[in-house]
Structure 1
């Protein structure tokens, strides 16, 4: 049988471009368009008559390029900050992250329990509901030009906090699901390694900033790019080997390189790769979803989406206010981290490998798809949502805040 990988890749890029034009036409985030486009041509997509539009041969390659997209998205997000800023916000990030996880994990446990699902299924659903999608959140922040906002620091910190949780939780759940038991020693070791790696990398990277400056002080853009991308992929790969998400490794590299004198040059080189491979990530995510399996999970997914939106808003509001952000900033935090993605699908695949309830995979796929659509929309419309909430709860209106700033400027 002949394979047409290059043809499929070419068609994929054209579809991604068409999705971008459609998103621009409707002035909406490109993310849901890319996911839906991937579903339409994935290996499980329907065959219409004699026409077979399924992307079968190229799917592994597209998914690998999608992984690179996650790296570039998180790397760029890390460049927008610095190690110093994160270290100063360490206490508020810890308190905010703990609050966020307590609220969302509790809700994630309660829902499947009320549905009467078994314990292992409850633990899987709790993880699916608790963890935000780093890739989607990063993409939305970049698209809406919100990386410079004050509350984005807390959003970034929450993603780091969640990754420590993921490292621990995945080891627990995989033990329970695949073998029916888990070792407390293994769990403790995994969590210590994950946390130790992130803290050590940040502290050592900051100390080595002068030497990194010298290493990157090369006139050739080609060599400069090879050095930066080499460091990026190497650290991401090392992260994966010790059960820290490769995307978080990329984020850490961005945080460290943000301390160097070459920040603007790095950003200039990275942006095209971020946009190209980032789009392919969401398209590849759609390729992994079987559209025929979604029907039986509609009601559980809809209920979980509603609960997630409410839980995220409450958690973001509490975490933001505790960290000293305004009501509007705290509202932005809760709305921005609503999207779910890659970790939810990993857990669903783990459940399938462990022979758990067959509804878990379509539930996760539909749940992620809905929040991939609603998450960017809620973030985009956060100003309008806040203005409505301010009227209900008596918070300072946007107009009042602007007038106060003008008065302070004059004074």
Structure 2
């Protein structure tokens, strides 16, 4: 542990270099952070007799990365609000169901096509179904799309995915680790996850007047301590009841967005979001072994193609169900195509259960490709939509067509 501070300092410098390089090339910064982490991670080779790999500091950097995810989702919640989320409740449930059904079904079919055993098929389906909340949050904020009409559906799908994840991990853990699972336990996990989200949202909205008074703190130091304490406590508690800590952070942001102190909180969080968010993607790269990826190339590429198709179709259908325009609907599918932390968790579950070793390199390469493609597709979504609209001639939903007719009249 003698050189941890030095390693963390060097890591920050490398992250800054990756950021400067991405700005120079005018490309999304996320892939640069990940690739930089891969280049200097514990799995990277030594350079001559020097060892520049981040080994001693890897656990600390990983923890700082977890903090980064919390700040990213918390800030995204601040940019949104509970009110907007509640108004879109029904459409979010419909859209989330469409998204999960399409992507999970495609994941199962892909596993069958690859002739994998049943347990491996279930793990692969989990890997390919859940999008990365951290990458999605980063892209939405960077591209200033938090006020877009489709953002409600994107956030809703992320939360819906978390309920699905709580249920699915309960089932998969039973099947993979112990060979059995309890239906009652699965139902209980789902109800606890859903109930926690609903209670926090509804109580948070009712408590806005009280929160306004409690947060009327003149000292910036005390104000920061209160906000950070609430963020970490709720996020940490969320994890204990099998709700992702990132979703807990998102919920805290949604609640505080309703208060009169929202702008002050946003100003406070911004530098922490940027700093720790960058460390998250770097730490994610540290976990990937570049020399284990070769054996999973074709399987990963096949899964990427399936995911791109499934996400676009799911986004179009989810958006149409909510009465969004074809362009906004296409943004949904292109924005949530990124895969990340949850896919790696699924692969880790397969490893713990002694399943085929190919699951780890498959997940790593699959996630890496989509972590690079996702932000790029989101940034160029307008051009992609125009190209596809020229081929398929997308039609606006009935709601939107009627609205335009009334406006013209």
Q: What TM-score do the two structures reach when normalised by structure 2? A: 0.96
Distance 1:217 1:408 in 2: 44
Distance 2:259 2:167 in 1: 32
Distance 1:359 1:272 in 2: 39
Question: Which contiguous aligned blocks of 4+ residues in structure 1 show a shift greater than 4 angstroms?
Answer: none
CA shift digits 1:362-411 (9 cap, x unpaired): 000000000000000000000001111121122479xxx9xx99x969x9
Distance 2:338 2:104 in 1: 15
Distance 2:20 2:352 in 1: 38
Query: Equivalent residue for 1:65?
Result: 64
Distance 1:161 1:342 in 2: 16
3-state SS, counterpart of residue 148 of structure 1: coil
Query: Equivalent residue for 1:306?
Result: 305
Distance 2:282 2:259 in 1: 33
Distance 1:265 1:110 in 2: 49
Is 2:264 the counterpart of 1:272? no
Distance 1:394 1:301 in 2: 31
3-state SS, counterpart of residue 28 of structure 1: coil
Q: Give the Å deviation of 1:29.
A: 1.0
Query: Equivalent residue for 2:118?
Result: 119
Distance 1:363 1:395 in 2: 34
**Equivalences for 1:140-219 in 2 at 5 Å?**
140-219=139-218
Query: Equivalent residue for 2:292?
Result: 293
Is 2:250 the counterpart of 1:251? yes
Distance 1:105 1:328 in 2: 24
CA shift digits 1:38-81 (9 cap, x unpaired): 11111111112212111000000000000000000000000111
3-state SS, counterpart of residue 144 of structure 2: coil
3-state SS, counterpart of residue 260 of structure 2: coil
Contact 1:390–1:396 under 8 Å retained in 2: no
Structure 2: gaps of 5 or more residues:
none
Query: Equivalent residue for 2:24?
Result: 25
Distance 2:26 2:151 in 1: 23
Q: Give the Å deviation of 1:179.
A: 0.8
Query: Equivalent residue for 2:220?
Result: 221
Query: Equivalent residue for 1:98?
Result: 97
C-alpha RMSD of the superposition = 1.6
Distance 1:173 1:23 in 2: 39
3-state SS, counterpart of residue 150 of structure 1: coil
Q: Give the Å deviation of 1:154.
A: 0.5
Query: Equivalent residue for 1:335?
Result: 334
CA shift digits 1:221-260 (9 cap, x unpaired): 1111111111000000100000000000000000000110
CA shift digits 1:133-184 (9 cap, x unpaired): 0000000001111111110110000000000000000111111111111111
More off after superposition, 346-355 vs 308-317: 346-355
Distance 1:21 1:396, change over 3 A: farther
Distance 2:80 2:141 in 1: 13
Is 2:73 the counterpart of 1:84? no
3-state SS, counterpart of residue 137 of structure 2: helix
Distance 1:96 1:216 in 2: 35
Distance 1:239 1:173 in 2: 20
**Equivalences for 1:314-333 in 2 at 5 Å?**
314-333=313-332
Contact 1:168–1:191 under 8 Å retained in 2: yes
Query: Equivalent residue for 2:55?
Result: 56
Contact 1:39–1:287 under 8 Å retained in 2: yes
Distance 2:312 2:135 in 1: 17
3-state SS, counterpart of residue 357 of structure 1: coil
Structure 1: gaps of 5 or more residues:
none
CA shift digits 1:85-119 (9 cap, x unpaired): 11110000000000011100000001111111111
Q: Give the Å deviation of 1:185.
A: 1.1
Query: Equivalent residue for 2:74?
Result: 75
Distance 2:334 2:242 in 1: 28
Query: Equivalent residue for 1:239?
Result: 238
Q: Give the Å deviation of 1:33.
A: 0.5
Distance 1:86 1:147 in 2: 13
